[in-house]
Structure 1
Amino acid sequence: MPVLTSRIDLQGDQFQSNRAAQLKLIDDFRAAEKRVRDNSGKQAEKFAKRGQLLPRDRVARLLDRGAPFLELSTLAGFNMHDDDGKGDASGGGCIVGIGVVSGVRCIVSASDSAIKGGAISPMGLRKSLRAQEIALEHKLPIISCVESAGANLLYQAEIFVDGGRVFANMARLSAAGVPQITIVHGSSTAGGAYLPGLSDYVIAVRGQAKVFLAGPPLVEAALGEVATDEELGGAELHATVTGTAEYIAENDAHAIHLARELLANLQRAPLSRFAHDLSTRPHRPPRYDVEDLLGIVPVDFKKPYDVREVIARLVDDSDFFEFKALYGAATVCGHAQIEGHAVGILGNNGPINPDGACKAGQFIQLCCQSGTPLIFLQNTTGYMVGTAAERAGMVKHGSKMIQAVANADVPKLTVILGGSFGAGNYGMCGRSYDPRFVFAWPGSRIAVMGGEQAAKVMEIITTAKFARMGVEPDADAMAQMGKSIKDRLDAESTALYATARLWDDGLIDPRDTRRVLALALAVCREGEARRVRPNTFGVARL
């Protein structure tokens, strides 16, 4: 049995230094997440007076107790637009995750109406679109708790066109046989009225829900007609007159109860077999403590480590059957299991050279042949450069690896452990290569190249330009230019910068990597097995 043997000195200075640095980064991103939750929680008294639950309380009541909930993109839009990352941190203005409701694995989405009325920001829109993408790919039902002021008009130019994709996706999800349940807790007006309109099932809260294309002021201005919110689009109107709502609830808690009952009944229906199997496959835990992960990987991507030490703490029984261990050794490939799920793992112990690219391309194709999901553990400065690498066919072999990644037809999961630079990000299945999920450690870096390297490249190019002109460059100006480039690229390559832009599905504590991968693998496996009944146009509300 090929069990990995760890050679890490757990008491060594390097390990302790790495651990302290990782813990600091974990504290930083957890504090940022807490600021989002605290910002939402400020409205507790206001919601209580209205007889409403806070958005996060709605989500908590909806989910099965004790079942895992994987919240996604918690820091979407961090330090972007009107999110200052501090008192106005908003997480995109919505809460999205994968959870279990009445025994059914599903996407849970909620407008965070306690922050700016749940107004949709550009990155909040992208977060919602990503949730729909995950739902469609894995045939996951969607339950949405809606209460939103609509699009943030200050950023309408970044929202309007792509915002229509939300509704197109809803129509396609329904046509694909993926149920969508919407609870209308409050305002869902103007374009937002199509959220319940395009859902398969709608639950409206009496006295709170508002679903109409134009509110009282606009109706009066346009038509001279005076009407109240309730007359234009209250819960009772839609439950008794228009038929837009299938169910009417007395309050938020009752609405959530109805949603759980509805999903439980869909689970029992013979045509909708999407129940979540809560049983776990027999497996042994890793032989080494996941706590060790904090000290293994340096936060400085220029410092090396052995990715096998990470693998030994992620896979069942630390059992890793390595593929072509002596060929292209800087690219590590092999077979393992994570909580009983068979996987093929690719990791980096340095730049990807021609031999490593060939090995990776072959391994990816073999995993596709056997139907084995792929896990990419990224830490690479990219593909090898230089005359030796070019003469060895780096472009040709690197392209073969990219072709294999792009066309792999098995689930692909990516974790960015350290550096993710240049075409190495592509070859190791970065966001643009459509992995089912991408997660990142808080010390990771992602960019076309490192800041120091970019500054040096620009210095060489600029110096050569001045030499052609017969001019001596100003040393101070060159130094300032180099510093400016380095500072900018370093700031734009951090994990927080990347997660704000949804280049990943969220930052994770390194110690949670095995659990997160196991849950993601379960979602992928269930998606492959789940049977739905697609039709041509989706279910229309008649």
Structure 2
Amino acid sequence: MTVLVPALDPASPACAQNRSAMLERLAEVEAAHARAVAGGGEKYTARHRARGRLTARERVELLVDPDTPFLELSPLAAWGTDHAVGASLVTGIGVVEGTECVVTANDPTVRGGASNPWTLKKALRANEIALANRLPLISLVESGGADLPSQKDVFIPGGALFRDLTRLSAAGIPTVTVVLGNSTAGGAYVPGMSDHVVMVKEQAKVFLGGPPLVRMATGEESDDESLGGAEMHARVSGLADHFAVDEADALRQARRVVARLNHRRAHAAPAAFDPPLHDAEDLLGIVPGDLKAPFDPREVLARIVDGSDFDEFKPLYGPSLVTGWARLHGYPVGVLANARGVLFSAESQKAAQFVQLANQRDIPLVFLHNTTGYMVGRDYEQGGIVKHGAMMINAVANSTVPHLSVLLGASYGAGHYGMCGRAFDPRFLFTWPSAKSAVMGPQQLAGVLSLVARASAEAKGRTYDEDADATLRAMVEQQIEAESLPMFLSGRLYDDGVIDPRDTRTVLGLCLSAVHNAPVRGVRGGFGVFRM
């Protein structure tokens, strides 16, 4: 039988303790997300509504099909920075007229929707997702342009936004822009480079230079409407393809544009699938509060894969890495999940072979992280851990089937790379509130710095200051601990969101549906040189 039989007792004291710790972390994430949803706060939201306008999330809700999920991406962008949580932009994947689309919406209640460096990173990530998965891109625009105090970090890299729009169009991926307010200066090129443009009467403003700039540059007197109003662009310049009388009409027209795109998925969605046999609620109690304590990832798989059915590959070889085949929301997947943290040579070789098999079969890969990295020590170095770890990293780096990564626990060192961390371009990467990621654990990193400082003092013949050492170690541990936490990483867009463990199956299912809009095809023999 390949149906997983969990050993976890949800009623045990250990599970209760783990659940309590997870819920505490989830509360912190939910509080941060509430700050993003609040946008600029009550004052600016009220002022925005007084102008008869909808908020960013209300616009998204009107755009997407009723009673369909919207997978919000990077909701905690800019967390821990001087900028508002959410980075004044809402992004995600939603269904519009039966078609999965990437949607972006400026939040005009936050500094007029101006783009800061984190807004830019978030928008570029959304464009990347649209291109990789061949999803139409719908931009709901109301932005004051670049946030001027941070223009040095926005202007030059910001050109990639326009590059992306043209590349999406050239690749046959539709781009739709709905202008609901300002889209001026460089922002004017967003509708200018989109396939389809909808503008709202007496709200849309699209021009390279506003009245003051025009007066300064040419001496010409003009007004917003004659320079860049929706009616002018619909009747005179031709920039507007559709003229809307209000926001609701604009979003209705955008839906009709999508309905006529004739955009087709590369792979049909599965007709039916079985739910897991075990309760997703149990996922809260699996990961220990102390990540040094191991946990069995099969307990997670039993609660997220179809029918809790999992065919394990090489179960007796390299046992600290679980590999195998399953289905998730009807889609076939290969799974790589860390069981006891450390990756040895056997696990690395097993992973490399498994990734090759998935590419031969055109099967997407799901990586479940809980690793402290590759094993170190004289015996392991002599046994070839460097070349074996490199085999795994080589295979993952050159694999062309879609990769989905979820950080459950630790994700340290090169193990983060081998398990397809952000730098290895997974199609999507999400984090549980229990996860941590850094070059190594806080205690280990502080200890290494201490040993280096001690050796330096000895080499110079100086007496080592033990008190200063203790202070340094404490400071370093505190810093690394803070910088390895999920919200810190999510704030810098090193993931696509921190998710409730109970939502893991749903999130992965939505992602698998998205990736199957594009052809799923593995590499055939293009892995480069494997050192044997």
Partner of 1:95: 90
Aligned-partner SS, 1:317: helix
Q: Deviations over 1:123-151 (max 9, x none)?
A: 11011001111111111111111000111
TM-score under structure 2 length normalisation: 0.95
Partner of 1:25: 25
* In the alignment, structure 1 residue 47 sits paired with structure 2 residue 48: yes
Distance 1:388 1:463 in 2: 26
Distance 1:177 1:300 in 2: 48
* In the alignment, structure 1 residue 250 sits paired with structure 2 residue 245: yes
Uncovered stretches (5+) of structure 1, i.e. residues with no partner: 84-88, 531-542
Q: Deviations over 1:442-488 (max 9, x none)?
A: 12111001111111111111111111122221111111111111111
Partner of 1:443: 434
Partner of 2:450: 459
Partner of 1:308: 298
| TM-aligned CA deviation for residue 45 of structure 1 | 3.0
Partner of 1:75: 76
Matches within 5 A, 1:211-290: 211-267=206-262, 272-274=263-265, 280-290=270-280
Partner of 1:379: 370
| TM-aligned CA deviation for residue 46 of structure 1 | 2.1
| TM-aligned CA deviation for residue 304 of structure 1 | 0.9
Q: Deviations over 1:119-176 (max 9, x none)?
A: 1011110110011111111111111110001111111111111100000110111111
Aligned-partner SS, 1:285: coil
Partner of 2:380: 389
* In the alignment, structure 1 residue 123 sits paired with structure 2 residue 118: yes
Uncovered stretches (5+) of structure 2, i.e. residues with no partner: 522-532
Assess if the C-alpha contact under 8 Å between 2:39 and 2:88 holds in 1. Answer: no
Partner of 1:536: none
Give the counterpart letter for 2:2 in structure 1: P
| TM-aligned CA deviation for residue 529 of structure 1 | 7.6
| TM-aligned CA deviation for residue 275 of structure 1 | 9.7
Q: Deviations over 1:104-128 (max 9, x none)?
A: 1101110111111001011110110
Q: 313, 320, 323: which is aligned to 2:310?
A: 320
Aligned-partner SS, 2:373: coil
Distance 1:213 1:348 in 2: 52
| TM-aligned CA deviation for residue 280 of structure 1 | 4.6
Q: 330, 350, 366: which is aligned to 2:357?
A: 366
* In the alignment, structure 1 residue 104 sits paired with structure 2 residue 99: yes
Give the counterpart letter for 1:170 in structure 2: L
Please, which moves more after superposition, 42-51 or 298-307? 42-51
Partner of 2:514: 523
Distance 1:118 1:374 in 2: 37
* In the alignment, structure 1 residue 433 sits paired with structure 2 residue 406: no
Matches within 5 A, 1:66-215: 66-80=67-81, 82-83=82-83, 89-215=84-210
Give the counterpart letter for 2:301 in structure 1: I
Assess if the C-alpha contact under 8 Å between 1:281 and 1:339 holds in 2. Answer: no
Distance 1:280 1:129 in 2: 30
* In the alignment, structure 1 residue 473 sits paired with structure 2 residue 468: no
Assess if the C-alpha contact under 8 Å between 2:373 and 2:414 holds in 1. Answer: yes
TM-score under structure 1 length normalisation: 0.94
* In the alignment, structure 1 residue 500 sits paired with structure 2 residue 495: no
Partner of 2:524: none
Partner of 2:530: none
| TM-aligned CA deviation for residue 195 of structure 1 | 0.4
* In the alignment, structure 1 residue 10 sits paired with structure 2 residue 10: yes
Aligned-partner SS, 1:92: coil
Distance 1:261 1:318 in 2: 40
Give runs of ≥4 in structure 1 deviating > 6 Å: none
Distance 1:238 1:438 in 2: 40
Give the counterpart letter for 1:492 in structure 2: E
Q: Percent of pairs identical after alignment?
A: 49
Assess if the C-alpha contact under 8 Å between 2:91 and 2:104 holds in 1. Answer: yes
Assess if the C-alpha contact under 8 Å between 2:276 and 2:302 holds in 1. Answer: yes
Distance 2:418 2:304 in 1: 22
Give the counterpart letter for 1:220 in structure 2: R
Assess if the C-alpha contact under 8 Å between 1:105 and 1:275 holds in 2. Answer: no
Distance 1:175 1:302 in 2: 49
Distance 1:90 1:183 in 2: 24
Assess if the C-alpha contact under 8 Å between 1:51 and 1:251 holds in 2. Answer: no
Aligned-partner SS, 1:417: strand
Q: Tell me: CA distance 1:513–1:143, structure 2 relative to 1, closer, same or farther (3 Å).
A: same
Aligned-partner SS, 1:91: coil
Partner of 1:486: 477
Assess if the C-alpha contact under 8 Å between 1:322 and 1:332 holds in 2. Answer: yes
Partner of 2:321: 331
Distance 2:204 2:289 in 1: 48
Assess if the C-alpha contact under 8 Å between 1:330 and 1:351 holds in 2. Answer: yes
Q: Tell me: CA distance 1:529–1:351, structure 2 relative to 1, closer, same or farther (3 Å).
A: closer
* Aligned length in residues: 519
| TM-aligned CA deviation for residue 314 of structure 1 | 1.1
| TM-aligned CA deviation for residue 318 of structure 1 | 1.1
Aligned-partner SS, 1:199: coil
Assess if the C-alpha contact under 8 Å between 1:328 and 1:356 holds in 2. Answer: yes
Q: Tell me: CA distance 1:276–1:96, structure 2 relative to 1, closer, same or farther (3 Å).
A: farther
Distance 2:348 2:27 in 1: 36
Assess if the C-alpha contact under 8 Å between 1:299 and 1:444 holds in 2. Answer: no
Distance 2:74 2:92 in 1: 8
Partner of 1:404: 395
| TM-aligned CA deviation for residue 386 of structure 1 | 0.7
Distance 1:220 1:276 in 2: 54
Give the counterpart letter for 1:27 in structure 2: A
| TM-aligned CA deviation for residue 316 of structure 1 | 1.1
Q: Deviations over 1:392-431 (max 9, x none)?
A: 1100100000000000111110000011100000000001
Give the counterpart letter for 2:199 in structure 1: A
Distance 1:469 1:313 in 2: 57
